[in-house]
A and B are shown apart, each in its own frame.
Chain A
Amino acid sequence: MSLDPATVRRIARLARIRVEETQLVPLGHELSGILNWIEQLNEVNIDGVEPLTGAANMALRLRPDAVTDGGNVEGVLSNAPDRAGAFYAVPKVVE
């Protein structure tokens, strides 16, 4: 199996990473190399096995649905590349 340029373009789009047209073929080969190696997992019998979602193997705790922190606008915005007042600034999204 080898990922075609259209599939690589679709993955890059989903991942929000710009990939140059000239890179689609080499990147497709690279990703296919890894995915083909992963195919070895198809030989494992997984009938009736429950998926393991995490290593903790324990039920997650519940907590009261209450505010525990907040009111720190300057801290939250301190690393923003661009801001307008108490908000993050981004290019116009609504025409």
Chain B
Amino acid sequence: MFDLTLAGARAGLRKGEFSSRDLTEAFLGAIETLNPVLNAFITVTPELALRHAASADAALARGEHGLLTGIPLAIKDLFCTQGVRTTAGSKILEHFIPPYESTVSANLLRDGAVFLGKANLDEFAMGSSNITSAFGPVVSPWTRNGDNRPLVPGGSSGGSAAAVAARLALGATATDTGGSIRQPASFCGITGIKPTYGRCSRWGIVAFASSLDQAGPVARTVEDCAIMLQSMSGFDPKDSTSADLPVPDFAAACRRGVKGLRIGVPREYRSDDMPPEIETMWQQGLAWLREQGAEIVDVSLPHTKYGLATYYIVAPAEASSNLARYDGVRFSSRTDGADLNELYENTRAAGFGSEVKRRIMIGTYVLSAGYYDAYYLRAQKIRALILKDFTDVFRTVDALVTPTAPSAAFAQGERMDDPLKMYFNDVFTVPANMSGIPGMSVPAGLDAQGLPLGLQVLGRPFDEETVFAVGAAIERAAGFTALPGMRAGGGA
């Protein structure tokens, strides 16, 4: 049963080969066994899951087949879930129980999904390793050949990615502000898509950087991501940046093929420090697409090298503003003080971890009087140049293919001495957030140490369909069947 994809499980449910209760109980059992090691879930909700499963089974018995009826999913603990604690991976929201449901999770419930629990993440989605969670790091289900040191699953959606890779859920919601869907998908050997900014409503998602945050799915296959994204997407008047556009049939787009498509290869993504295995896999991916009828074209995105530094102005600036709401008064833990200012300062000193504090302070500095033009306004102008780079190349190509991350997963403790080293994980993913375009990571192979490597497909705004077509073509050619050592239904 754990070998099923989301699409396979859906077919089995519709044929009555098993019930949603069977599936849900199997995943809850696997979580009970493996979560103490992986720490992929902060909160498991067995009673709620079985209630959802019972309604799904009743619906299936009536012949009602929703997009996701009876499918067990994990929900990143950044999506507010009514009556279920939502922590954002932070001590400051340790006891927060939302009185409302986020639009994305409500869409999934409308379509019949079963929620197993809330997936671990970097605190407020700030991180690339899941080390910054106040609820402890997530351990990747993968290990290097002959080396049992725990590896990071990537971040910030590390719990979501680890849960899917270890087969503790058929899919999971995730969010991506600078690469937080694509980089953990790459590290964990699964698929994830950040759709175009505006495709999924941000309403009810704990805000990090509002002009960059976008929800999307992680799942085992490209088609599974298409099915989940179909459900998660759609116009929402409660989010002022939600796109009022029809949602295409993403699953159908997976079957389109790439014959006649022009695929761009941005030369600025190539660097001397890139591990040769990643370069080889990139070339292999391009060869696969060429064999399936695509034309490969060299292109230039001249402002690529400035993406990361621009991001580290824009994201902290927006975060410092968004996180001002955690003041110890309305919905957070409180640490008392002699007066109101002291209460704020003590609450935030005790409630935020060091990376979150660092970003709030950077954001506060770049927005402070006298520095705004030099930092924030300059960053917004460079952001315009980054978008223009993409707009220009998408006049001549239909999609871009690059590596997802500059390395495979690393061990806990590695790269932790200097925040800048950690930030470089996102060098290939950040430009899609700066420009709002859709991006997907597809597993393409293993490195010499036996760890997964992903390729990234970038597309035009609101053309996720081409991204799905290219992603599915890479998936078909790669035939990626490697599995992590720690997983439900097999292995250690």
Q: Which residues does A use to contact B, with CB under 8 Å?
A: 3, 8, 11-12, 14-19, 27, 30-31, 33-35, 37-38, 40-42, 44, 46, 49-58, 60-61, 63, 72, 75-76, 78-82, 88, 90-93
Contacts and interface: CB of A to CB of B under 8 A. Distances in A.
The 3 closest A-B pairs by CB, nearest first: A55-B436, A51-B380, A79-B331
A40 B361 contact: no
Nearest to A17: B348
Interface string B92-104: 0001110110000
B343 A49 contact: no
B328 A44 contact: no
22 contacts: A11-B361, A15-B361, A16-B327, A31-B358, A31-B362, A31-B365, A33-B420, A41-B306, A51-B377, A51-B384, A53-B380, A54-B436, A55-B198, A57-B461, A58-B243, A79-B97, A79-B330, A79-B332, A88-B330, A90-B343, A91-B338, A93-B340
B119 interface: no
Interface string B296-321: 00000001001001101100000010
Contacts of A16: 324, 327, 341, 344-345, 348
Contact of B313 (A38, A57, A92): A38
B385 A54 contact: no
Contact of A35 (B211, B336, B344, B365): B365
B423 to A, nearest CB: 8
B309 A40 contact: yes
A75 B336 CA distance: 24
B339 interface: yes
Nearest to B364: A15
B248 interface: no
B41 interface: no
Contacts of A11: 361, 364-365, 368
B327 A44 contact: no
B242 to A, nearest CB: 9
A16 B342 CA distance: 8
B488 interface: no
A49 B384 contact: yes
Contacts of A80: 329-331
A12 B361 CA distance: 7
Contacts of A12: 345, 361
Given A44-B385, A50-B381, 14 more contacts: A16-B344, A16-B348, A17-B361, A37-B420, A38-B312, A41-B310, A42-B378, A55-B212, A55-B434, A57-B436, A79-B95, A79-B96, A79-B332, A81-B329
A34 B419 contact: yes
Contacts of A90: 329, 340, 343
A81 B364 CA distance: 26
Contacts of B100: 75
B144 interface: no
A90 B211 CA distance: 32
Contacts of A53: 211, 380
Contacts of A91: 336-340, 343
Contacts of A55: 197-198, 211-212, 387, 433-436
Contacts of B368: 11, 14
Contacts of A44: 303, 306, 378, 382, 385
B125 interface: no
B387 A52 contact: yes
B385 A49 contact: yes
Contacts of A78: 97, 99
A35 B362 contact: yes
A46 B345 contact: no
A8 B365 CA distance: 9
Contact of A56 (B198, B327, B345): B198
B357 interface: yes
B9 to A, nearest CB: 34
A76 B418 CA distance: 40
Nearest to A38: B309
A46 B346 CA distance: 41
Contact of B237 (A14, A33, A49, A63): A63
Contacts of A37: 309, 312, 420
Contacts of B329: 80-81, 88, 90
Contacts of B387: 52, 55, 57
Nearest to B316: A34
B468 interface: no
B108 to A, nearest CB: 22
B343 to A, nearest CB: 6
A60 B239 CA distance: 10
Given A16-B344, A33-B418, A56-B198, A93 B327 contact: no
Contact of B349 (A18, A76, A92, A93): A18
